[in-house]
């Protein structure tokens, strides 16, 4: 059996790593890794391959940035040639990025089976580009590998036949468990003692100047109570610079370049709490037992709220301030680890793929 894995951007890399590792010792399975190049900066891509022990891609499509249509189309054009050349039995796609939907569409049209890792997540917010990617990818997939019971329910509601759906657990957490002991703090200039970790890059938070300005004002207030460490995504950096280069200018908000995986894990693990709009950090903080305040109105990962350490604060900054005060008063949310977030999801994926 020949599996062709497709990855493109930072949040894919921690998902593919345990799956490739789990299949590696099977002499009956051939694996090909394709990197679309949606993320191309060394600190958004290369460092993850090294730290996560992912083999060098067999094929690099080098598509780069562009509008959604342009980027998605470019991936499709280049990926079609790759599929025709390699003739895999399965195309494995991960998460919800443009590379995921582009590869799924190409494979499905060529009659090649598609397996979607992290299927069935829904924010029910179609203004989010990732939500459109999730919906389309799941309709095209032959095998839908889910992280949580709600995901199975979402797929059932959309008419996806139950025999295609398998609740395998969360491969991202396989990676957390595999590497947490190797997590290393980056150098954070001026940090001494407790801190909060911030990441933010969703278009809904950073692309509208009024929203971004309001969020930054609240963060400045919070930074007077506890220093904020802020590894900054390139999208956010350019949006903030367009506002006013000095808007973040306070010694208590420590801005870093994007950090590697091991550094991100250490920053989360040692943080008093995390503020984010990332999907991945909502899950990682639940696995690590660190309170997470999510600056979004919705989440496609509700189990992190119902069972984990996550609280949705939306973009209501008074709500954010109130939740921060609760945590600083010693009343942060304690959660439990969701079912099958146990470090063995990739092994269950091997089990499913070798028996379907």
Q: How many residues bind ligand UD1 (CB under 6 A)?
A: 18
Stretch that binds ligand UD1, among 8-16, 74-82, 152-160, 289-297 (CB under 6 A): 8-16
Q: Binding to ligand UD1 by residue 76, rule CB under 6 A?
A: no
Contact string (CB under 6 A) for ligand UD1, positions 182-201, x = contact: -------------------x
Cα distances (Å, whole numbers) of residue 267 to 187, 218, 223, 297: 10, 21, 16, 25
146 or 205: whose CB is closer to ligand UD1?
205
Binds ligand UD1 (CB under 6 A): choice among 16, 17, 44, 293 = 44
Closest CB to ligand UD1 among residues 130, 323: 130
116 binds ligand UD1 (CB under 6 A): no
* Burial (Cβ within 10 Å: 0-12, 13-18, ≥19) of residue 243: middle
The H or E element spanning position 91 is: strand 90-94
128 lies in the site for ligand UD1, by CB under 6 A:
no
* Smaller CB separation from ligand UD1, 41 or 316: 41
Check residue 125 for interaction with ligand UD1 (CB under 6 A). no
Question: 253 to 312, contacts with ligand UD1 by CB under 6 A?
Answer: none
Active site residues: 201
Residue among 12 and 223 whose Cβ is closer to ligand UD1: 12
Residues 31/23, Cβ–Cβ less than 8 Å: yes
For residue 238, report the phi and psi dihedrals to the nearest 5 degrees.
Answer: -70, -35
| Distance of closest approach, residue 69 Cβ to ligand UD1, in angstroms | 12
Closest CA to 19 of 353, 356, 262: 353
Which strands form 310-312's sheet, in the order they lie side by side? Answer: 253-256, 228-231, 196-199, 273-276, 292-294, 310-312
Residue 10 touches ligand UD1, criterion: CB under 6 A: yes
SS3 60: strand
At residue 202's C-alpha, the angle toward residues 198 and 207, to 5°, is 110
Q: Which residues bind ligand UD1 (CB under 6 A)?
A: 9-11, 38-41, 44, 65, 96-98, 129-130, 201, 233-235
């Amino acid at each position: 059996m020949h599996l062709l894995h497709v990855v493109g951007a930072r949040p894919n890399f921690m998902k593919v790593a345990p799956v490739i590792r789990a299949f590696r010792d099977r002499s009956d399975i051939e694996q090909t890794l394709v990197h679309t190049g949606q993320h191309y900066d060394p600190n958004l891509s290369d460092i993850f391959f090294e730290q996560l022990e992912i083999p060098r891609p067999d094929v690099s499509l080098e598509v780069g940035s562009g509008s959604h249509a342009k980027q998605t189309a470019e991936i499709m054009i280049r990926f079609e040639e790759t599929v025709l050349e390699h003739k895999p039995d399965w195309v494995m796609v991960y998460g919800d990025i443009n590379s995921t939907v582009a590869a799924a569409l190409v494979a499905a049209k060529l009659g090649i089976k598609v397996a979607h890792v992290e299927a069935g997540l829904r924010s029910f917010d179609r203004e989010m580009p990732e939500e459109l990617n999730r919906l389309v990818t799941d309709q095209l997939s032959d095998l839908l590998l889910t992280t949580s019971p709600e995901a199975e329910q979402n797929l059932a509601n959309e008419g996806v036949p139950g025999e295609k759906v398998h609740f395998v657990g969360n491969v991202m957490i396989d990676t957390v468990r595999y590497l947490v002991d190797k997590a290393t703090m980056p150098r954070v200039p001026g940090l001494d003692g407790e801190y909060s970790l911030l990441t933010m890059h969703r278009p809904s938070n950073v692309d509208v100047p009024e929203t971004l300005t309001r969020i930054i004002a609240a963060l400045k207030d919070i930074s007077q109570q506890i220093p904020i460490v802020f590894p900054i995504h390139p999208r956010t950096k350019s949006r903030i610079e367009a506002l006013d280069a000095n808007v973040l200018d306070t010694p208590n908000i420590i801005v870093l370049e994007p950090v590697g995986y091991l550094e991100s894990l250490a920053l989360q693990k040692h943080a008093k709490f995390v503020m984010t709009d990332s999907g991945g950090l909502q899950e990682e903080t639940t696995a690590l037992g660190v309170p997470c305040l999510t600056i979004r109105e919705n989440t496609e990962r509700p189990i992190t709220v119902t069972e984990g350490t996550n609280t949705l604060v939306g973009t209501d900054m008074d709500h954010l301030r109130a939740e921060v005060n609760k945590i600083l008063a010693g009343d942060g949310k304690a959660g439990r680890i969701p079912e099958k977030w146990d470090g063995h999801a990739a092994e269950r994926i091997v089990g499913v793929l070798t028996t379907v």
